[in-house]
A and B are shown apart, each in its own frame.
Chain A
Amino acid sequence: EDQVTQSPEALRLQEGESSSLNCSYTVSGLRGLFWYRQDPGKGPEFLFTLYSAGEEKEKERLKATLTKKESFLHITAPKPEDSATYLCAVQAYGNDMRFGAGTRLTVKP
């Protein structure tokens, strides 16, 4: 069965303090790994899709990387507006998308 585990559950950073969020997964035949950002009371906002090990994608202060067993979301010099819950999801061929429980990030000014 496809599984997604995110760590840590919660992360508190000072503004400017870089860190990484982890997403470990097991899936039979990875079609894609997805990162989303979700603000309270809103739907998830799409960030990245990664398809194969070694792939990296960047957007502003965020960089996502992928290996055969896990993905990292690196946050460089975060700002308070980066505070949100970050969700990771995997999709196998022919299967639905499976989400992790998320990492709740708080960035203090």
Chain B
Amino acid sequence: KAGVTQTPRYLIKTRGQQVTLSCSPISGHRSVSWYQQTPGQGLQFLFEYFSETQRNKGNFPGRFSGRQFSNSRSEMNVSTLELGDSALYLCASSTGNEQYFGPGTRLTVT
């Protein structure tokens, strides 16, 4: 079974721009969660989607948003990028309690 895939793997953006990251979950998984990982803050929960509905949301500003499509694929968007948004963005899919992570998208904001 193919694992979680994320595209792109690396991205460089300029402050003020916006970015869209994509995640394809493991086949059959309907829940997709997004996390931000930085050296200083570790892994922090952004939001979770299940059957195209946001089920849970972390403590991030409204510049961070996401959505899920009918085939369970998910996208997250960050608008008006700030330098502090530089991080590894991880997507995880699950059918129940256990989450399986993708390789992440490394976003660098200059």
Residues of A whose CB lies within 8 Å of any CB of B are 31-32, 34, 36, 41-46, 49, 87, 89, 91, 95-102
A101 and B37 CA atoms in complex are apart in Å by 10
**Given the interface contacts A42-B104, A43-B4, A43-B90, does A97 sit within 8 Å of B99 by beta carbon?**
yes
A42 and B42 CA atoms in complex are apart in Å by 14
A-B contact pairs, 18 of them (CB 8 A): A34-B97, A36-B101, A41-B106, A43-B101, A43-B104, A44-B43, A46-B99, A46-B100, A49-B97, A49-B98, A89-B43, A91-B97, A95-B56, A99-B35, A99-B42, A99-B43, A100-B42, A102-B42
Considering residues B48, B58, B98, which has the most beta carbons from chain A within 10 angstroms of its beta carbon?
B98
Residues of B whose CB lies within 8 Å of any CB of A are 4, 33, 35, 42-45, 48, 56, 58, 90, 92, 97-104, 106
